[in-house]
Amino acid sequence: MTRRMTVTLVALLLSGCAGAGPYHAPDLPIAPAWSAANRAARAPATPWWHDFDDPRLDRLIATGLADNTDIAGALDRLDQARATAREAHAAQLPAAQTQDTLARQRQSTDSGLGRLVQYVPGLSRVQNQADIGVSASWEVDFAGGLAQQSRAAQDDAAAAQAGLSATRLAIAAEIAEAYVSWRTARADQTLLQQQRDLIAHAARIAVARVAHGDGARRDGDEAAAALAAIDAALPDYQVAITTARNTIAILTGRPAGTDLPELAGVPEAAPLPLAREPAAGAPADLLRLRPDLVLAEAHLRASHARIGAALSEYWPKVSLSGLFGFSSNDVSLLGTNGANVITGAIGLRWRLFDFGRVDAEVAAARGAEREALAAYRGSVLSAGGDVENAFVALEGARRTLAARRSADAIAGGLLDQARASQRAGQSSEADLVAAQTRRIDSQRALLGAQHDLAGALVRCHRALGG
């Protein structure tokens, strides 16, 4: 019977340890090369927003990285994870503490041992007690459970570090997008106001021509309708400008409505900042450059380590402890041979009749690892899709911008012809105003294309991990 039980226990231990081992990076769904993105090699890491060559944007992002509340929270989470990792590492080491006591007690003669004072000569009501010593303990980690817990905590700290990087990337991208939107709204508002002035002038011309019997009333009505449409749209631009400013303020750790000195002095008609196309490198580069993928793999490594920690519960836990010190009712005798106290102990803890629960804990740990692996593979697929879609959008934005530039050049040529024709007396002032209005339409369309291209560039950098 004893032999059979021993064989059963050994079998359980061996089966419990099966599958434990070092972490190996999994096979991931990574394409060998990009389809839409370029294949230029990634340069050494530099702040991607510097490619826009806009000092105001640089200052805004620097402020955001220093003062944003989400980043502050991510830093706090990193500090907590690192502290937990240090604690888990310290659990593998021997622990020692000192326990010192110096006490003096006057006992009651009506209770306890104090009642013996009147019967025992020399027995004092006042008792002194002095204890001084150092105790030490150490859990022998021969099954590796503590080491696996420490490794999991270290991987959690790595995940927190990657989470901080992901937050920084997201905040920088959001500031850049808000900044571009703010500049676009201001420039478009200026163009729309210019167009309103032209249409108002056209309306006055139409009214004058009707008064002289030289024009149709319909022309004045159409100008008035166009003027009303612009008046209805102008408040939306002010809302967009204010909203973008407030977004920038919040992202940089300041209350909405706060003055932003970084935005002072920006000309309303200044061209939007544009950057060169970022180098996409190889798809495999994302595994080390995209913070969310670094975070996902760190979670996978931590879950694998926790399997080892769960498996260690099949083995007995052995602890060593000891105490060396002195104890005496007379302080003057502390340190003497007669007052010393020496204790040594070895402890054993084994969940011998709890293997069913250990099995469940191991199964749960393995399930968590499979979940982390699925999440990691899904993140890799999503990251690859982000890059491909971002560069498809970038190419579309470039083509649209080229077409808008061509259309604006044509509109500019037509405006020059209208001015020449008007000076030669071959066309009316109304015809010139119409040409000017069409040119502003093309400029607004060009501005929108520039905005879309700038946004596409930001999204490409974000998809690549910065």
pLDDT of residue 13: 47
The percentage of residues in the chain with a pLDDT greater than 70, rounded to a whole number, is: 91
CATH number at residue 376: 1.20.1600.10
Is residue 15 in a domain?
no
DSSP labels for 248-292?
HHHHTT--TT---GGGTT--TTPPPP--PPPP---GGGHHHH-HH
Q: How many domains are there within the chain? A: 2
Q: Are residues 325 and 197 in the same domain?
A: no
Is residue 11 in a domain?
no
Q: Are residues 192 and 330 in the same domain?
A: no
Q: Are residues 214 and 87 in the same domain?
A: yes
Are 315 and 358 in contact by the 8 Å Cβ rule? The answer is no
- Read off the amino acid at residue 342: I
Q: Are residues 219 and 329 in the same domain?
A: no
Q: Are residues 180 and 125 in the same domain?
A: no
For the chain, helix (H) and strand (E) counts, in that order, are 9, 5
Q: Are residues 123 and 200 in the same domain?
A: no
Is residue 1 in a domain?
no
Q: Is the pLDDT of residue 100 over 90?
A: no
pLDDT digits (tens, 9 = 90+) for 290-333: 999 999 999 999 999 999 999 999 999 999 999 998 888 877 78
pLDDT of residue 15: 46
Q: How far apart are CA 384 and CA 34, in angstroms?
A: 9
What is the pLDDT confidence band of residue 422, given thresholds at 50, 70 and 90?
confident
* Residue range of the domain that includes 127: 94-140+316-349
Q: Is the pLDDT of residue 431 over 50?
A: yes
Q: Are residues 62 and 150 in the same domain?
A: yes
Is residue 215 in a domain?
yes
Q: Are residues 114 and 238 in the same domain?
A: no
What is the pLDDT confidence band of residue 255, given thresholds at 50, 70 and 90?
very high
pLDDT digits (tens, 9 = 90+) for 130-164: 888 899 999 998 889 999 999 999 999 999 999 99
Is residue 54 in a domain?
yes
Is residue 392 in a domain?
yes
Q: Are residues 324 and 452 in the same domain?
A: no
Is residue 245 in a domain?
yes
CATH number at residue 340: 2.20.200.10
Are 295 and 372 in contact by the 8 Å Cβ rule? The answer is no
Question: Closest Cα partner for 169 from 70, 280, 308?
Answer: 70
Q: How far apart are CA 394 and CA 36, in angstroms?
A: 10
CB burial of 394-420 (b: ≥16 within 10 Å; e: otherwise) equals beebbebbeebeebbeebeeebeebee
Q: How far apart are CA 117 and CA 113, in angstroms?
A: 8
| Averaged confidence pLDDT in the chain | 89
Q: Are residues 250 and 309 in the same domain?
A: yes
pLDDT of residue 273: 87
Is residue 354 in a domain?
no
Least confident span in 25-34, 112-121, 402-411, 437-446: 112-121
Q: How far apart are CA 175 and CA 244, in angstroms?
A: 9
